[in-house]
Amino acid sequence: MRAPDETRSKEVRSFRARLFTAIMVIVATLTALGFYLAQRKITADAERNLQETFKTELSSMHELEELRHATLADRCNVLAEKPRIHAAIEDDAIDLLYPSAKDELRGLMEGDEPPPEQAARSLHARFYRFLDSTGAVIKPPNASDVGELDAKTEAQLSLNRLPDTKQIGYVQSGGDIHEVIAVPIFSTDTGDLVSALVIGFKPFQLEDKPTGMQSGIWVGGNLHLPALPTSALSSLNEKITRAATDSESDQNYFRVDVGGAPQLLFYKLLNPGSLFPPAYEICVHPIAPWTAQLNRLRWQIGGAGALLLLGGFVASHFVALRMSAPLKKLALDSEENRAERERAEAALATTAEELERSTRYSADASHQLKSPVTVLRVGLETLLEREDFKPEVYEHLSGLLHQTHRLTGVIDDLLLLSRVDAGHLQIASAPVNLSQLVDEWLDDLGALPDSPDVKIEKEFPSGLFVAGEKRYTSLIVQNLLENARKYNRPGGRIRVGAQGKGNHVVLTIGNTGRTIPRGENIFERFHHRSTPSVVSGHGIGLNLARELARLHGGELRLVRSENDWTEFEVRFSVANGVNPAA
Amino acid sequence: MRRLRLLSLSAILSIIPASLLASAALEGRVELPKSRSAPVQAKRYEIVTKAGVLSTQPPLAVVYLDGNFPRPASFPIKELAQKDLTFARALLPIEVGTRVEFPNLDDTYHNIFSYSPTKRFDLGRYRPEERPIPSVVFDKPGLVTLRCDIHEHMRGLILVLSTPYFVMTDTAGRFRLDKLPSGRYMLKAWIDSRTTREKPVELKDGQTLHVDLP
């Protein structure tokens, strides 16, 4: 028992190792997945946070800007409503336009530019111009009154038509940018669009934030971001130009490298739908601190992942141990089961072998017996052919010869029985004419030399077919009829009847004579009647008949045996489609 | 008998004033544009512009006789008051050289000015008690748009004509001009800042000519 024990514990160890590996693989995969997802989420969150920061800063700035635009527009609208300006435009007095406006706009134009931190609240204008009905700039008679502009800058103020709503625009003037607001002037008399007032301001600039965000404006293919070195501007400008022309959205962001430092660049269209050329707010934010923070976070997550992995390693080791313990027990249990099963199987094999052997023995014995009997019979027949014996010798010889015939019959029966027992007998089922078969046997019965004086009664229709193999069916009938004759009394009778009953054909054979005592099992193999008799069989005929009847799906039974009458009944399966209804 | 007839004629002539003797008259009707709204009871007219054309609402026309007439030595002073933040008359026809006073009858400042090429002026801000009453002499024929620098809705029109013979139609377009000199002239009807209709007329003393300006 040493060797199986070792094998078993080896198997358990191998199972434990496999279990441990599987758990580790799962833990490692989950950790890696978790790490990947966490990192992705953190990156996305960080990026979103950065965006949010940007948007908040931008939106606060844009709110101020909007406020300023609204204030400016209000102011411009009031100006545009002034009767003198209207009179100059509508009453054909263009020469009086700028002089009239000078008085009205004095408040806006006078004084110095406010410092940047007050720019939001300040409404200081740098210049103003009127547009004629075609949208072109009306030349001022004296440029110093209305804010001097070079011709190139002034040309940018012209629009291809008069605007019917407030328009925001940005124009370049040398290295500077002006923010302009154009408001329409409608005739107070006709409501027609007659002119527009364009006022230029210093662009609203974002204050320098501690985050390091720097803002500028991109317009007409040029980037104005004074905080950045000119060397960085050109490459940046190219990228923005591409993004601004390609992108369908008004705002977006991308990463750029400014002087080797990674930056996040946001851009937003400042004047959507304006008649002025599109201008973009540009914000550049250095992302180095952000990346450093992100890297730190990654390391932290990585460390946590490693710890988790280690924990998983230990945990899976214990789990594998715990899980393999019942398996070990199971292995032991199954070993016991196996031994028990082997024992049972061995016993079964022995039984089967014995059974087989006995069956084979029976068959062999029959064959072995038949040969000497044949030799004996042939010898006796040869002796009978001689003519030099006394007559009483012939009588003895005839008796002996008869015994050899009986012996052959017994051996045949035994052979058949052994085949039935071994399960080797195959029934080739076919319709068998039972009526004809019984008739033939009755004829033979009458022809037998030692036939007692018995009367035979027949009571069956002709052409009664049963399902079975003819020779075995015949054997059943023969056995029963022979018995009926053999155990009859002189002057007795035999009655044979047959009839169809549903799916069966029932054959009854009755005879007069001594009855069978109650409780005696006449169907037992090698049975011998308890009461002495002048005639006796070898004790296997009824047994064989019954076995055969059962093989045919039928039955043989003793119906009654009393008052000088013994009756057997055989039940056969009816041959399908052959018998007429009984 | 012949002498008696002459006498009687001279008697008749002596009865009729000389001015009347030397005068003709014109009457007729100007086809006015359809009023956009039914004439309300208000007597006051307002200036309206449609596609940049100034006219009165309800429509009115100024009918005048165009020609070279001797200029009088002096002109009567006309008045165009501002009352209830509007001009007392929407349209005032005057002869060239006439002085128009712009009294302020409101309890607030007014600042009447004009950028019209015919006459540019700016009376500045003034109160009702301003004396002398601010006035302007219109020395060139043409149309003058009056505005108030303080009340942007206020509009007034002065039609400066180089003739002493002019009259405003009623809202039906009917007019009558009296005491006209005989001769061949052009009768004109100013309907709005873009439309002036005209028709040649030959006036004879003592005759009343009927002319319609469709």
Mutate to test the interface with B, among A97, A189, A195 (most CBs of B within 10 A): A189
CA distance B71 to B88: 28
Residue A234: predicted pLDDT: 77
Counted domains in chain B? 1
Q: How many CB pairs under 8 A join A and B?
A: 50
Residue of A91, A92, A98, A195 for testing the chain B interface, max B β-carbons within 10 Å = A91
Amino acid letter for position A297: L
Its domain, for residue B52, covers: 24-213
Does residue B5 lie within any of the structural domains? no
Chain A touched by B48 (CB under 8 Å): yes
Note whether residue B7 is domain-resident: no
Burial label, B127 (beta-carbon count in 10 A; 0-12, 13-18, 19+): exposed
Residue pair B80/B148 in contact by the 8 Å Cβ criterion = no
In this structure, what CATH number is given to the domain that contains residue B152?
A: 2.60.40.420
pLDDT for residue B43: 42
* pLDDT, tens digit (0-9, with 9 covering 90-100), for A5-30: 677 778 778 888 888 888 888 888 88
User: Is B9 inside any structural domain?
Assistant: no
How far is the C-alpha of A208 from the C-alpha of A581, rounded, in Å?
117
* Mean pLDDT score across all residues of chain A: 81
Q: Do B116 and A92 count as a contact with CB atoms less than 8 A apart?
A: yes
Contact B152 A87 (CB under 8 A): no
B48 vs A contacts (CB less than 8 Å): 189
Q: pLDDT tens digit string along A535-550?
A: 556 678 888 899 889 8
Residue B40 belongs to some domain of the structure: yes
Of B52, B113, B117, the CB nearest to A190: B52
ipTM: 0.76
Is A525 exposed, middle or buried (CB count within 10 Å of its CB: 0-12, 13-18, 19+)? Answer: middle
Residue B154, domain member (yes or no) = yes
**Minimum Cα–Cα distance from A192: chain B residue:** B51
pLDDT at A112: 66
pLDDT along chain B (214 residues), means of 10: 53 46 81 63 53 71 88 86 87 92 91 91 90 91 90 88 91 89 90 87 88 86
Candidates B109, B113, B115, B122, partner chain A, best to mutate (most A CBs within 10 A): B115
Question: Roughly what angle, to the nearest 10 degrees, separates helices A2-80 and A288-385?
Answer: 140
Q: Which residues of chain A does B116 touch, with a Cβ-Cβ cutoff of 8 Å?
A: 91-93
* Angstrom distance (rounded) from CA A291 to CA A237: 24
Tell whether pTM > 0.90: no
- Report yes or no: B120 at the A interface, CB cutoff 8 Å: yes
Rg of chain A on CA atoms, in Å: 63
Residue contact B50–A187, C-beta within 8 A: no
Enumerate residues 72 to 91 of chain A having a beta carbon within 8 A of any beta carbon in chain B. 81-84, 86-88, 90-91
The residue in chain B having the minimum alpha-carbon distance to the alpha carbon of residue A88 is: B115
Å between A106 CA and nearest CA of chain B: 17
* pLDDT for residue B166: 93
pLDDT for position B175: 92
